[in-house]
């Protein structure tokens, strides 16, 4: 029998999850965070940042396909994309499936995440080698502010920005500030869209409501996007689709290289259907 080592990801005082790893393949401390890569028997390799689950090889595609293909389906002829965060490369690897994209810029604060992913998660990070991809190590919000009117799509693939475990002030995170949303608007071309990871409405309910209250008044179109993420806390996860195009919808089919594991246009439409408890978090809802 294979000997295992148990690693814990604690979500709150009452709940968490664990991985029984057959090996700790990598463990380092960057200037920003603790990085671990585990090997597991049934779920492939697992990335933990500060002991919080970022992805598993077996299920990461559900998250990454939602984050990329739903907003891409909202755009008729996208050419330029910016990804903020996403140093594991999963979002970029989905984007390079689109031959019509001309340029993809990845802004990742922690270059060590990119290096570790390239070494230990090469399948997930493979898109980083595409010649259309430019990698910039540094503050994505600052880069966005310095490049107005450049992008058709902006994807914010960050770690949690809505976390009740960090208290009510979590909403002050720079990626949830009014200044950041103003920079997104300025960075988009006319007709462009943004997709932002928000968190779990089940575990981060209060902060999710505050996020909705902050974002909704600032955009002509804001749509929460629900996605199942098996190894993210509660299994339900939420992103936000943002645009100045009224009632933006995923209606455009694009040429995509290779088969997708999860996403199709029925999934895109279904992801915009909200459970009642999430609807009630939106402003002016009962």
Residues assigned a catalytic role: 157
Q: What tokens does 4 get?
A: 């295992």
DSSP assignment of 235-253: SEEEEEEEESSTT------
Q: What tokens does 116 get?
A: 């570790």
Cα–Cα distance for residue pair 264/176, rounded to 1 Å: 29
Cα–Cα distance for residue pair 131/152, rounded to 1 Å: 19
Cα–Cα distance for residue pair 20/120, rounded to 1 Å: 18
Q: What are the C-alpha distances in Å from 265 to residues 1, 85, 122, 149, 184?
A: 43, 26, 28, 28, 26
How many residues does the structure list for the chain? 286
Residue the block writes with tokens 């390239």: 118
Q: Where are the beta strands (DSSP E) in the chain?
A: 5-12, 15-29, 34-40, 45-49, 52-56, 80-85, 103-108, 133-137, 151-157, 188-199, 221-228, 236-243
CA angle, 221 then 222 then 225, to 5°: 135
Cα 88–chain centre separation = 11
């Amino acid at each position: 029998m294979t000997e295992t080592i148990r690693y814990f990801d604690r979500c709150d005082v009452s709940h968490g999850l664990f991985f029984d790893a057959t090996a700790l393949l990598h463990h380092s401390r960057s200037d920003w965070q603790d990085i671990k890569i585990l090997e597991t028997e049934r779920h492939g390799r697992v990335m933990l940042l500060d002991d919080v689950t970022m992805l598993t090889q077996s299920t990461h595609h559900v998250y990454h396909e939602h984050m990329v293909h739903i907003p891409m389906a909202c755009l008729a002829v996208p050419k330029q994309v910016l990804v903020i965060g996403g140093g594991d490369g999963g979002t970029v690897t989905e984007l390079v499936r689109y031959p019509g994209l001309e340029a993809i810029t990845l802004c990742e604060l922690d270059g060590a995440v990119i290096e570790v992913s390239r070494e230990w998660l090469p399948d997930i990070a493979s898109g980083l080698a595409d010649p259309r991809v430019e990698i910039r190590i540094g503050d994505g919000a600052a880069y966005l502010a310095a490049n107005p009117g450049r992008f058709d799509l902006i994807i914010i693939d960050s770690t949690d920005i809505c976390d009740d475990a960090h208290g009510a002030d979590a909403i002050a995170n720079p990626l949830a500030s009014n200044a950041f949303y103003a920079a997104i608007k300025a960075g988009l071309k006319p007709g462009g869209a943004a997709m932002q990871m928000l968190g779990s409405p089940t575990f981060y309910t209060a902060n999710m409501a505050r996020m909705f209250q902050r974002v909704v008044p600032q955009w002509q179109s804001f749509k929460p996007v629900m996605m199942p993420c098996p190894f993210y806390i509660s299994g339900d996860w939420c992103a936000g689709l943002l645009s100045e195009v009224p009632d933006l919808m995923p209606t455009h089919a694009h040429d995509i290289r290779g088969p997708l594991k999860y996403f199709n246009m029925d999934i895109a439409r279904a992801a915009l259907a909200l459970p009642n408890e999430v609807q009630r978090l939106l402003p002016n809802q009962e």
